[in-house]
Amino acid sequence: MFGTHEKYDLKRPAYARRGTGFYLYEDFYENVIRLSCYKSGEMSSRSPFQFDVRLFGDGAEQKYEYFADARSLRADCAAGFGEFALTDEDHIRIRGTTELRLCLRPAIPEDGTSACRGLVKLENGEWEGAFGKFGMLRIRMLRGTVKVTAPWNNGTGRYDEVTFSFLPEDGLFEAAIFEDMTEFGELPETLPDFDEVKEENQRSFEEFKKHYRKAPDEFAELAEYAMWLIWSHTTKAIGGYKEPMIMMHYQWFIGAISWQQSYNAMAMQNDAKEAWRLLCTMFEHQSEETGALAFAVSYFGGAIGGSPQPPFQGLALTFLYDIFGDELFTYDGCAYLYPKYRKWLDFWFTRRSAGRGDDVTAVLSSHEAGWDDASIFNDGFPAENPDVMSYIALGMEGMSRMARVLHLYAESEEWMRRSRKLIDTIVSEYWDGEKFVTRVHGKPVESMSLVCYQPIILGYRLPQHIIDKVAEKVTDEKLFLSPYGVTGESMMSPLSGYGNRFILGRVVAPLNMMISVGLSLAGKTKEAALIARRFCRRCDEKGCLLGFAPYDYYPLTGEKVPDLDEFENMPVPSDGWPWATWSACNVMTMLTYVLPRENREEKER
């Protein structure tokens, strides 16, 4: 899958497996594999807890090439090889036929070996290292020996160097490195064979892939990469994660982001039980006082506060119901989610009420809509934006269906009535004949954002003339439709930018998914597939990046994009650099839902 001579290397994606703490990646500048652990939440651009993987033969450092798949990562040089197999049991396995060194090297050189607080050789021959907030490491040799080089410097109060050298015995070494964020408990006395670990990794991945429908043959390879990325970024229930959740990154935004759990659920169209479980995970981190869902979940922090993310779960609920029907809503599942979702909606109806006496809401920050730099917020806040209201309307429809399962028939009818009324309001008061408008203090905001068309997620619930106009606008190649999908801001907008931007110009995965899914739900299946195919083809070429610059110049002015290289071709946590599960799950939804419906013209309802 990944490697020196493969389609993709590991400079942008991190190498991991489901349930692991460790991850590996290729350093952009040094061209060396690095090993770290995600649990501290420290970005790779700042973390002092990173080890270079270096191979030696006859005392001389060797250049190596590598190959990685779901089973293991192997580095080969002229003197032999070193191989890493990750596990979901809080340790990593290493073996090799030549000397392999793990050399502590911080992201910021001035930090030196500051991550390492102390090293000690235990009575049983194992080595233990204390790494402060980065936890503990324990090295156990299964074959061969380990040499620890760590001279202490009294002047600096730290080690001058921390290097673990794994040395073969009779041509082979094998070791296990355990990690724990506090103190080690009793570690297992025996471990499975190395090859058994590799086979278990492959088995786990194959089982995970069953959550998804088959992608079109032309995108089979892309689907494999997307599913691998999601699988490898899935946590186990540990630390702040009460349930397995899907992190966005290992190296950059290191946490399970609130609304992204529902994006991931939407992609799991072959497993109603897992899609439902994933959608519900954030409700384990709901505020008892306000009903708000946490912004994200991390290993140390559990729920992370800040502005709540949008109530995207409404789209996920109704979309998955269209896929699975009554299979989605079990009695026990609804009994759990119904009161929690009521509190989530009540948060929006009370703390984000527009003050009209109805269900119209107004966000207080751009993060509450999910679009950090969208031009719909140019006039400030509070902003009545119909994209968020569309999620709420769909959420009330989902509540109606759950209430019916719970035999709360009067409540079911009331939720559906309120849902339809809010949709009528969105259409009658926020559609200006050309687009949906955001209002601040009653005045429409002048905007050329793609978000002005996002209420197409309401699909067949919208009037036909609106569906037709949205399809016309978003497929206009002078306005939004680029070679790589639809742009977040019109290409004719003077605000559009392709460098250090999020949706203010770039082509980003979540908007391309929502627009194409909405069009497909509304019966515009050809237009939906046109958008989805362009975005997926770009991901097939470049990998599961969150966003792309549609051009290296601005169509409106012809000006070259001045900061494109910095934010698309260099290792920074921008949407144009690292692979992200947020992109991968949207790709899977487009591949397995939008594209297979390309030739279906009728509306769903």
The stretch 55-81 carries a mean pLDDT of 97
Comparing 303 with 44, which gets the higher pLDDT?
A: 44
For residues 560, 566, 567, 571, the Cα torsion angle rounded to the nearest 10 degrees is 160
CA 250 to chain centre: 10
Residue 161 pLDDT greater than 70, yes or no: yes
Amino acid identity of 102? L
The stretch 137-143 carries a mean pLDDT of 98
Helices (H), 156-240: 194-208, 220-232
Amino acid identity of 49? F
The stretch 237-252 carries a mean pLDDT of 96
The H-or-E segment that residue 338 falls in is helix 331-351
The stretch 104-119 carries a mean pLDDT of 97
Q: What is the pLDDT of residue 603?
A: 47
542-562 pLDDT, tens per residue? 999 999 999 999 999 999 999
Locate the domains of the chain by residue range: 2-202, 310-597
**244: DSSP letter:** -
Confidence of residue 307 (pLDDT cuts 50, 70, 90): confident
CA 350 to chain centre: 30
The stretch 589-604 carries a mean pLDDT of 82
Q: What is the pLDDT of residue 601?
A: 57
Q: What is the pLDDT of residue 305?
A: 78
Tell me the two tokens of residue 132. 């402060």
Contact in structure between 229 and 20 (CB atoms under 8 Å): no
Distance between CA atoms of residues 76 and 33, nearest Å: 12
The stretch 472-490 carries a mean pLDDT of 98
Residue 89 pLDDT greater than 80, yes or no: yes
Confidence of residue 604 (pLDDT cuts 50, 70, 90): very low
Pick the CATH number of 310-597 from 3.30.70.360, 3.40.800.10, 1.50.10.10, 3.90.550.10: 1.50.10.10
356-410 pLDDT, tens per residue? 999 999 999 999 999 999 999 999 999 999 999 999 999 999 999 999 999 999 9
Residue 602 pLDDT greater than 60, yes or no: no
Contact in structure between 333 and 320 (CB atoms under 8 Å): no
The H-or-E segment that residue 439 falls in is strand 439-440
The stretch 572-584 carries a mean pLDDT of 95
Q: What is the pLDDT of residue 302?
A: 75
Residue 605 pLDDT greater than 50, yes or no: no
For residues 248, 251, 254, 256, the Cα torsion angle rounded to the nearest 10 degrees is 20
310-357 pLDDT, tens per residue? 999 999 999 999 999 999 999 999 999 999 999 999 999 999 999 999
279-306 pLDDT, tens per residue? 999 999 999 999 999 999 999 987 787 7
9-18 pLDDT, tens per residue? 999 999 999 9
Q: How high is the mean pLDDT of the chain?
A: 96
Check if 2-202 and 310-597 are the same fold: no
Please state the φ and ψ torsions of residue 44, each to the nearest 5 degrees: -65, -20
Q: Which residues contact 115 (CB under 8 A, 6 or more apart)?
A: 47, 48, 49, 104, 106, 131, 132, 134
The H-or-E segment that residue 174 falls in is strand 173-180
Is the CATH number 2.70.98 carried by domain 2-202? yes
Residue 599 pLDDT greater than 90, yes or no: no
